[in-house]
Amino acid sequence: MNRSIPPFLVLGAITIGPALAQSTAQVDIREWTVPWPRSGPRDPAVAPDGRVWFVGQVGNYVARLDPVTGKFEQFAIDPGTYPHNVIVDRYGNGWYAGNKNGMIGRIDGKTGELKRYPMPDSSAKDPHTLVFDHRGDIWFTVQGGNFVGKLGTTSEKIELFKVATPGARPYGIVIDALNRPWFDLFGTHKIGLVELGAKAVREFSLPDSLTRPRRIAVTIGGAIWYGDYTRGRLGRLDPSTGAVTEWPLPGGKGSLPYAMASDDRDVIWLVETGMQPNRLVGFDSKTEQFLSVTEIPSGGGTVRYMVFDPKTKRIWFGTDNNTIGKAEVGAVIRPMP
């Protein structure tokens, strides 16, 4: 497939996918109650040893869960950090976004020792969501500061790229097969890309000005997927043509899609947070059918982020109801075409 992007791209009208009947298939979900009450556990990441790291944004900690024993372990971090997100490298070290103290931190997974990487610009005060690229470097969004950044894990240098649209609010972020970072611009109806050669941010306007993409996913063929938080839709952007297709979510306009991930079968998973209990929804990007709708057992409150683990075929998530959960999405079977 030609994944090149035209030098000038004007997005036309949205194509609306057919209203397809959803399956009654259910996903097996299990949750663990976090032992630190009302601490805002969120944004889990699976380490090479199978333990699941997460942050307590309200509780100001980074922690990990051993899903075999159910044991929780907490790491002490700087007061006032209020970490937003954590990712784990191949050595088992945790990297977290200091959302309130303008830094990225690294925790040695064996000793708990901290290393700090402050933002080089004081206006980049709120690092948001981190993701590793294919070389092991870290790309991240800075929502209020209106930047996207890169931390070289070997060079230990941070580069910041300013988003041109004021108040664009860079939010969710993914890396495509060509090692390019794509991200939602939640404050507007746009998707962003850092052009690696030019080292500049490029913006793609989605056709409906009311669209607010919050989280993002990428499938194997290079399509970029987003959940439209304000309009209750799942959307797909073809980077090579600019074509946009959307599907109304089962929960309708008020579904408030938030947490989002793609699995290794190109199934898109997202959580409808406008529904109480929150609902995990699966959409097969190949057959363009909704596979399942499953309520979060704890209710969720709001599920803000989730990650797919290809080794176990599970999705991990945190909830505002103080749980860390796993969803056995690998057991969901596609319907026959």
Residue 40 in tokens: 């805002």
Is 230 a residue whose pLDDT tops 90? yes
**Which pair of tokens denotes residue 319?**
């909830």
* Segment 175-193, tens digit of pLDDT: 999 999 999 999 999 999 9
Would strands 15-16 and 244-248 be described as parallel, antiparallel, or unpaired? parallel
Q: What is the pTM of this model?
A: 0.93
Question: What's the one-letter identity of residue 79?
Answer: P
Which one has a higher pLDDT value, 10 or 312? 312
Counting residues of the chain whose pLDDT is more than 90, the rounded percentage is: 88
Q: Write out the two tokens for 111.
A: 């000793």
Neighbours of 121 (CB within 10 A): 15
C-beta separation of 72 from 63 below 8 A: yes
Residue 320 has pLDDT above 80, yes or no: yes
pLDDT of residue 14: 66
Summary mean pLDDT of the chain: 93
Q: Where are the beta strands (DSSP E) in 190-322?
A: 190-195, 200-205, 213-218, 224-228, 233-237, 244-248, 257-262, 267-272, 279-284, 289-295, 306-309, 314-318
Dist CA 261 CA 238 (whole Å): 17
What pLDDT score does 1 carry?
A: 33
CB 211 within 8 A of CB 172: no
pLDDT tens-digit series, residues 134-147:
999 999 999 999 99
Domains of the chain: 20-331 (2.130.10.10)
Cα dihedral 111→63→123→217 (10° resolution): 120
